[in-house]
């Protein structure tokens, strides 16, 4: 979010509070009662939005994480495709030698 968007969001919340105040006054609330009711409603909305944000952050269901998973799966698929093409382009002897080397490395315990 840019600085300008943050300012616009702040102004929108301020406008929402003023609109709520006006609506509460129009429905029979007077003075401080309308202000308290509008503030309470706005506070409940902000707390609800914050709770939904925290829930998405904790569960990892945020836009950045979704994009990252999507990009990673696309990258893995592309890499696998390139490796398969290169492997297919090798001669049968080179393929066999490479498979033997890979299986030998799997049998050796990895060093920590």
52 and 69 together in one domain: no
Token readout for 10 is 């702040």
pLDDT at 109 over 80: no
Please, where are the H alpha helices in 1-112?
3-26, 31-59, 63-89, 92-107
51 and 7 together in one domain: yes
Range of 79's domain?
Answer: 63-106
80 and 56 together in one domain: no
45 and 1 together in one domain: yes
Question: pLDDT tens digits for 19-61?
Answer: 989 999 999 988 888 889 899 988 998 899 899 989 988 888 8
Torsion from C-alpha of 35, 40, 42, 46, nearest 10 degrees: 150
45 and 76 together in one domain: no
The b-or-e profile of 42-69 (16+ CB within 10 A means b, else e) is beeeeeeeeeeeeeeeeeeeeeeeeeee
Average pLDDT over residues 71-85: 95
24 and 77 together in one domain: no
8 and 47 together in one domain: yes
20 and 41 together in one domain: yes
Q: Please report which confidence band the pLDDT of residue 92 belongs to, taking 50, 70 and 90 as the band edges.
A: very high
Return the closest-CA partner of residue 63 out of 48, 77, 53: 53
Q: How far apart are CA 5 and CA 67, in angstroms?
A: 22
1 and 17 together in one domain: yes
Q: How many domains is the chain partitioned into structurally? A: 2
The answer to whether the beta carbons of residues 44 and 66 sit under 8 Å apart is no
7 and 46 together in one domain: yes
Indicate the pTM of the whole model. Answer: 0.52
Last residue of a domain, one of 61, 77, 92: 61
pLDDT at position 59 is 86
44 and 95 together in one domain: no
8 and 50 together in one domain: yes
Q: How far apart are CA 53 and CA 2, in angstroms?
A: 18
């Amino acid at each position: 979010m840019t600085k300008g968007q943050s300012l616009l969001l702040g102004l929108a919340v301020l406008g929402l509070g003023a609109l709520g105040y006006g609506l509460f006054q129009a429905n029979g609330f007077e003075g401080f009662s309308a202000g308290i009711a509008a503030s309470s409603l706005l506070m409940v909305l902000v707390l609800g939005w914050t709770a939904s944000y925290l829930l998405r952050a904790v569960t990892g269901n945020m836009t950045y994480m979704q994009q990252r998973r999507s990009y990673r799966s696309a990258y893995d698929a592309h890499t696998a495709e390139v490796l398969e093409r290169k492997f297919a382009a090798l001669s049968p002897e080179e393929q066999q030698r490479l498979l033997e080397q890979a299986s030998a490395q799997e049998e050796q315990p990895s060093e920590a």
